[in-house]
Amino acid sequence: MAKLLVKFQRYFRRKPVRFFTLIALYLTAGSLVFLHSGFAGEPTISENEPNPLDGTSEGAAFQYLGVVQLGRGFKETPEARNSVRRYGPWFKSVSKDTPERNKMGDYGGAWSRALKGRKVREKEEDRAKYIGCYVDNTRRRALRGVSFFDYKKMTVFRCQDNCAERGYLYAGLEFGAECYCGHKIQALNVSESECNMECKGEKSNICGGVNHLSIYRLELAQESARRYGSAIFRGCFHRPDNVSLALPVTGVMLNMSVDKCVDFCTEKEYPLAALGGASCHCGFPTTLFTLHEREDEQLCAQKCGGEEFESCGTAEYFIVYQTQVQDNRCMDRRFLPARSNQFIALASFPGAGNTWARHLIELATGFYTGSYYFDGSLYNKGFKGERDHWRSGRTICIKTHESGQKEIEAFDSAILLIRNPYKALMAEFNRKYGGHIGFASHAHWKGKEWPEFVKNYAPWWATHTLDWLKYGKNVLVVHFEDLKRDLFVQLKRMVSLLGTRVFEDRLLCVEGQKDGNFKRSGLRKLEYDPYTPEMRKTISTYIKTVDMALKLRNLTGVPDDYYPR
């Protein structure tokens, strides 16, 4: 090695021009590389490293549950994390606390990222602009559209995207984990120091404070998506006897269209838009206008003055749409003001809709429900009674799947929720292998897991109901199918058993937001029947046993749609 170096030294001494030429080429190449990295290239971000433009190491993309309603959890995917197209017109806010780069590091890469970060902030101001900290009141919300909670993974972007997807103008964050949407801010602007709580899923950003909202204004690329994208058709209804009381706000529009009426009622902050020819009426579902008695849609089939392919109803028959405005008459929830000595069970076989029933009860009564167990994911989604011990006495009822004599006799009364076993087994299998709103994989359905699951769980479906009928005290039987079909009547029965006063207007409010955040999307239903003839034969036997037990107690037997399979 030493001899080789001596030979190179002698060679360049004899020919110094070649030596200096080589040095010049080396320096030129280095300069070109430096300039290219500083101005020509985009920073490369690997799948496993956090994107410096995200402001957080966690991906910002999320999937909505069934509203993609939510109803509602969110799930992050690697593909969504690296796909700007998934966000549509939205950009996640850039973190204010970006860690400093080492001064001896890659100056070119840092300069390129700084330029790109500035462009993102400029675009963000056009899409989601922070406008300040505002007071919020639990009785009269500052933003009165939809809301959702995530006490573990809430971020500014999650809230913005959730509200934007539904077409709202404003997104507000409170208590570090609560997101509220709305078209109008109805509160006072206060000092920024009042909004001082970090986001639960993004410590570098602020998500409001205690009874204070950090509010952003959202600007959609398509105005039509904001105004009319989420209006829900409710049906054709006869004009209420006293229109001015039932639907207190009215506007007359010569070129009437569904869009115009929905937009008018949305701006007035009402959840119902009723079209009656050239008149647009806005209001809430009340005892004066329950939306329970639908008429033949042909009675409302009169063309709109401003849109010939739409029906705008008549002076006697109204076409009704539900706007994006959330009905807040049933959204307040709290713990019982005084501890109760009566323990009421909300009992069901797993997969029978217990979480959905809890959602309905909380909206209908205004009180939190408890649980015999502790499920962190449910607590993070807003079921605050989940963390209390089931005997705390602070909750209106207690979720349980228990079926032993000792466990059942610990309760003073019970609501027993029964569901078609074919549907319940599949729902619980999906929950077990895919989460509360997820789905089991194709491999699980086709593998050994599904037959083993049916073998162990199908008998439990029957014994669970039989045990509660045998050992339970003051048991109210509610069939899941009846609750879906006639929510108002069945929920009224449930609330009466719970010992609280029934407010019919509040129950009508619940009907408008019955799905909640725990409804599985119907997009991934199995394309085949997973039950074998042997399974169906066994389950049919269990259905007949439960049906007979109900009828022996002078109760309604199982619904007809349990048969045949």
DSSP string, 307-337: -TTSB---SSEEEEEE-S---GGG---B--S
Under 8 Å between Cβ of 284 and 513: no
pLDDT recorded at residue 127: 66
- Give dist(CA 547, CA 154) in Å, integer: 45
pLDDT recorded at residue 31: 63
Run of H or E residues at 174: strand 170-174
The 3 state secondary structure assigned to 138-150 is: CCCCCCCCCEEEC
Residue 40 DSSP label: I
pLDDT recorded at residue 138: 82
Tokens 């809301």 belong to 147
pLDDT recorded at residue 169: 79
Pairing relation of β-strands 294-295 and 212-218? unpaired
pLDDT in tens, the chain (565 residues): 556 665 666 666 666 666 677 777 777 776 665 554 444 333 333 333 333 334 333 333 333 333 333 333 333 333 333 332 222 223 233 333 333 333 333 334 433 433 333 343 334 445 688 999 999 988 888 888 778 888 888 999 889 888 887 667 789 999 999 999 887 788 999 999 999 999 998 888 999 999 999 999 886 533 333 334 568 888 899 999 999 999 999 999 988 999 899 999 999 999 999 999 999 999 999 999 999 999 988 899 888 988 877 889 999 999 999 998 889 899 899 999 999 999 999 999 999 999 999 999 999 999 999 999 988 888 888 899 999 999 999 999 999 999 889 999 999 999 999 999 999 999 999 888 887 667 888 888 999 999 999 999 999 999 999 999 999 999 999 999 999 999 999 999 999 999 998 899 999 999 988 876 656 554 456 667 899 999 999 999 999 999 999 999 999 899 988 875 4
pLDDT recorded at residue 524: 55
Q: What is the largest CA-CA distance in the chain?
A: 115
- Give dist(CA 154, CA 174) in Å, integer: 10
Question: Does the model's pTM come out above 0.85?
Answer: no
pLDDT recorded at residue 2: 58
Query: Residues 442, 443, 445, 448: what is their CA dihedral angle, to the nearest 10 degrees?
Result: 180
The 3 state secondary structure assigned to 189-244 is: EECHHHCCCEECCEEEEECCECCEEEEEEECCCCHHHHHHCCCEEEEEEECCCCHH
Quick one: CA dihedral 463, 469, 471, 473, positive or negative? positive
pLDDT recorded at residue 245: 94
Under 8 Å between Cβ of 82 and 45: yes
- Give dist(CA 364, CA 366) in Å, integer: 6
Provide the b/e sequence for 408-424 (b: ≥16 CB within 10 Å). bebbebbbbbbbbbbbb
pLDDT recorded at residue 125: 44
pLDDT recorded at residue 432: 87
Tokens 């109805």 belong to 186
**What top-level class would CATH report for the domain 344-562?**
alpha beta
pLDDT recorded at residue 145: 78
Under 8 Å between Cβ of 105 and 31: no
What's the token pair of residue 372? Answer: 């015999």
- Give dist(CA 411, CA 345) in Å, integer: 6
pLDDT recorded at residue 5: 60
Run of H or E residues at 160: helix 156-165
pLDDT recorded at residue 479: 96
Cis peptide before 350 (omega within 30 of 0): no
- Give dist(CA 76, CA 60) in Å, integer: 7
Taking each helix axis as running N to C, give the angle between helix 533-552 and helix 421-434, from 0 to 180 degrees, rounded to the nearest 10: 120
